[in-house]
Structure 1
Amino acid sequence: MPALKEIEVLIIGGGPAGLCAAAAAAELGAGVLLLERDDKLGGQLVKQTHKFFGSKKQYAGERGYQIGNVLIEQCSAKPKVEVWSEATALGIYDDGVVTAEKDGQHIKIKPKKIIVSTGASEKMIAFPNNDMPGIYGAGAVQTLMNVHGIVPGQRVLMVGAGNIGLIVSYQLLQAGVDVAAIIEAAPAIGGYLVHASKIRRAGVPILTSYTIKEAYGKESVEGAIICQLDEHWQEIPGSEQDLTVDVICLAVGLSPLTELCFQADCQMKYVPELSGHVPLRNEYLETTRPGLYVAGDVSGVEEASSAMVEGRLAGISAAYSLGYGQDTAAKLQEDALAELSELRAGPAGQKTLQGLKKLTEKGGAGC
């Protein structure tokens, strides 16, 4: 590895946003280095076996891992894209240097533009014995089953009825695992009804206004106590139920992985609708630190379809700012922005639009 690696566009994170950013920037002629901390590109797509919604542009009807393979192939076909897998970005510094760790070496990279597409991490919730073996995040369960072919247990309590909770519950059923129940603290499910309908047809109860009170077991999970919540989100005495399960799966949301944005001194704002602290940025996804762009869940948690389009927009914008694609980039940016508007036009997109509106409001920025 060189003592200092110089590159035009550095992309941190090889999920759907990062892959699309790399392909778009290279297509316009920019040299790209893509860092991915895992040993395989694709991010969350590699573990997603369900079919996508949306339009043909976002590969509707294809399964997540298939989309991941398509995006990886598109990147591999671009001679101007260099990929470093098992490489972790460590910091973005005032002088523009980015440090990374790969193969046990500490490497310095000097990019002209940076795209952060680090994705999101799973949220956890507090309850007695929540550190007991047998308690997983939904992403970990998907990785076990869909990547490694290992079931997490025999009987599962799913906590959270958003899309992830519903989809992973169905995948558990397909793998022969019994799903005792899906509980959701909110008074209504958060995921698409088509997913909920498949679960209900399989005989799995979806209990809204319910939460987990505690887990119990000697050396690992043996059961869970759940209880009902009133309209003020308080426990209803006497509503407790004891479920015998050996796995508790938490699908309670995601938080943008914005540590690098904080460290790079991007101006940040807490926006609940975008799932946490996110960087302020313009419509072309450039943050308040000139030359640093964001795309995907790091900029606000949405579906992978939006992450792909944001990645493409960030890649185009970064390459354009370097002087590439002077005749075509502006039109490509407009097309990507129109595509994002279409994706956010329905009821599911209203939350994101509210969050994006808050980003442009004055005041309230910072931690």
Structure 2
Amino acid sequence: MTVDVLIVGAGPAGLSAAIACVQHGLNVRVLDEFIKPGGRLLGQLHQEPDGTWWNGIEEARKLYETAQSLGIQVECGIPVVHLEPAEGKWLIHIPDAVIQASTVVLATGAAEKPLPVPGWTLPGVMSIGAAQVMTNVHRVRVGERGVVVGINILSAAIARELQLGGIHISGLYLPGLTPLTNHSGHPAWVMKSLLRLSHLAPSSLIRFGSRLLKADAMHALGIRLFPKSGVKMWGIPIHLRKAVLEIIGDQQVEKVKVATVTPEGDPLPGTEEEIAVDFVCIAGGLYPLAELAAIAGCPFHYFPELGGHVPVHSPRMETPQKGLYVAGNITGIESAKVAKAQGTVAGLSIVYHFQPNERSKELLEHAIQQVKQERDQAVIQFHPAIKQARTRIKHLWNHPHPDSTQSTPLP
């Protein structure tokens, strides 16, 4: 079977790309290894500053219904195991079949970073993303009382979602400081990253105090003055001066060992205590799920601001590999709204490839501006230097390494 466009990933980026392509007459097929379309939208539920609620399941439903109304073929439960260029087309390998496509969009999203803690193999220990999906998608309680190990924007937002699902969160804690946990176990570094979520705090006092602490010179003082009992957001204690040193249990999670730590993250002897829990969520953050781009031969560059190694791409979502496009969190960790806007750009880039006229060019340029607007207005910013990283990616595209094969630089 040959299609104009094969899209890998049925999340906000992939579905948006498919919709843009089909609306302009292209033949599209969408594959996703998960059992439902929607990607990470399926687990999202948060209140925006204006009081409205962002319901990811509802947003996913709207996108999928639009795709269905346009006759887009969305196939779930099908992994893509390999792809390769062949005679001007792409060969996409799935179990028991090979699909030919003129162009491919990789909208594979992101995966969670592991954060090793002694005892993390016990039943009842899970990633924060798994807890989110079990609670919001499958409507399954992950436990009665638990803690989150790892304090970041993602874990704070999901802890609130679990709380809304009727699950008691005893607190968010740092992991013990080790070479593997690195910055995640350092109080000052975590405080700096968490301040980007302060505008969502329910308390005006917390929001005001957070604004005072955003100056670099205030971080050390803020950590030293941070209450050892934690600061509550939505009634959930956030502990920047306590770390989980061990998860304890016989056949399953029973408790965690916690200790007070210095401003540098070192545990203070004699401060250990044990807290009874029946589940533990580990939150190490996200990284771009870009293995297929690597298999396809895309050049990569490391951007900590975007979560890790990112395939080099243009503002039009092109890669140096002819006919291969990327969109969403594979290009760097940002919000679902940004991913959705990027998907539209990828789709319209392909439309412009097949139909190079002034109208398609105008639509594409408008879509690129929409990505910038969504980035500027994002409620949750995963890193303060995202815009600078995006500028550097564009520079890499416009000034490629002599050994790479890239398209003409953008104006």
1:22 and 1:315 in contact (8 A); partners too: yes
Distance 1:65 1:97 in 2: 32
Distance 1:92 1:157 in 2: 41
In structure 1, stretches of 5+ residues that fail to align are 55-59
The answer to whether residue 387 in structure 2 is matched with residue 353 in structure 1 is: yes
Pick closer, same or farther for the CA change 1:294–1:201 going to 2, 3 Å. closer
Distance 2:109 2:369 in 1: 23
The answer to whether residue 72 in structure 2 is matched with residue 72 in structure 1 is: no
Pick closer, same or farther for the CA change 1:146–1:213 going to 2, 3 Å. same
1:162 and 1:191 in contact (8 A); partners too: no
1:18 and 1:311 in contact (8 A); partners too: yes
1:275 and 1:300 in contact (8 A); partners too: yes
The answer to whether residue 162 in structure 2 is matched with residue 172 in structure 1 is: yes
The answer to whether residue 37 in structure 2 is matched with residue 41 in structure 1 is: yes
Task: Write the letter of the residue equivalent to 2:321.
Answer: R
Provide the aligned length of Structure 1 versus Structure 2: 351
2:147 and 2:171 in contact (8 A); partners too: yes
**Structure showing greater Rg:** 2
Pick closer, same or farther for the CA change 1:191–1:172 going to 2, 3 Å. farther
- Offset of residue 209 of structure 1: 4.6
Distance 1:61 1:334 in 2: 30
The answer to whether residue 91 in structure 2 is matched with residue 91 in structure 1 is: no
The answer to whether residue 15 in structure 2 is matched with residue 19 in structure 1 is: yes
- Offset of residue 227 of structure 1: 3.4
Distance 2:290 2:49 in 1: 27
- Offset of residue 226 of structure 1: 2.8
The answer to whether residue 37 in structure 2 is matched with residue 6 in structure 1 is: no
Alignment deviations for residues 216-269 of structure 1 (CA, whole Å, 9 cap, x no partner): 111111111233444444444444342221111122211111110111110011
Instruction: Look up the match of 2:272.
Output: 240
The answer to whether residue 177 in structure 2 is matched with residue 183 in structure 1 is: no
Task: Write the letter of the residue equivalent to 2:344.
Answer: R
Q: Which of 268, 275, 284 is residue 316 of structure 2 equivalent to?
A: 284
TM-score normalised to the size of structure 2? 0.79
Distance 1:223 1:99 in 2: 45
CA RMSD of aligned residues (A): 2.5
TM-score normalised to the size of structure 1? 0.88
Distance 2:251 2:38 in 1: 35
Task: Write the letter of the residue equivalent to 1:187.
Answer: M
Task: Write the letter of the residue equivalent to 1:263.
Answer: I
Q: Which of 314, 321, 333 is residue 353 of structure 2 equivalent to?
A: 321
Instruction: Look up the match of 2:299.
Output: 267
- Equivalent pairs: percent with the same residue? 28
Task: Write the letter of the residue equivalent to 2:43.
Answer: K
1:166 and 1:195 in contact (8 A); partners too: no
Task: Write the letter of the residue equivalent to 2:197.
Answer: Y
Distance 2:276 2:154 in 1: 23
1:167 and 1:195 in contact (8 A); partners too: no
- Offset of residue 161 of structure 1: 3.4
- Offset of residue 181 of structure 1: 0.6
Instruction: Look up the match of 2:139.
Output: 149
Alignment deviations for residues 70-123 of structure 1 (CA, whole Å, 9 cap, x no partner): 1111111113x222221111111132211112xxxx111111110000111111
**Deviation above 6 Å: which 4+ runs of structure 1?**
362-366
Distance 2:281 2:387 in 1: 29
- Offset of residue 314 of structure 1: 0.4
Distance 1:363 1:231 in 2: 43
Instruction: Look up the match of 2:223.
Output: none
Listed as ranges, the matches of 1:288-303 within 5 Å are 288-303=320-335
Distance 1:363 1:128 in 2: 44
- Offset of residue 354 of structure 1: 2.5
Instruction: Look up the match of 2:124.
Output: 134
- Offset of residue 338 of structure 1: 1.4
Distance 1:83 1:175 in 2: 30
Task: Write the letter of the residue equivalent to 2:162.
Answer: L
Distance 2:282 2:25 in 1: 43
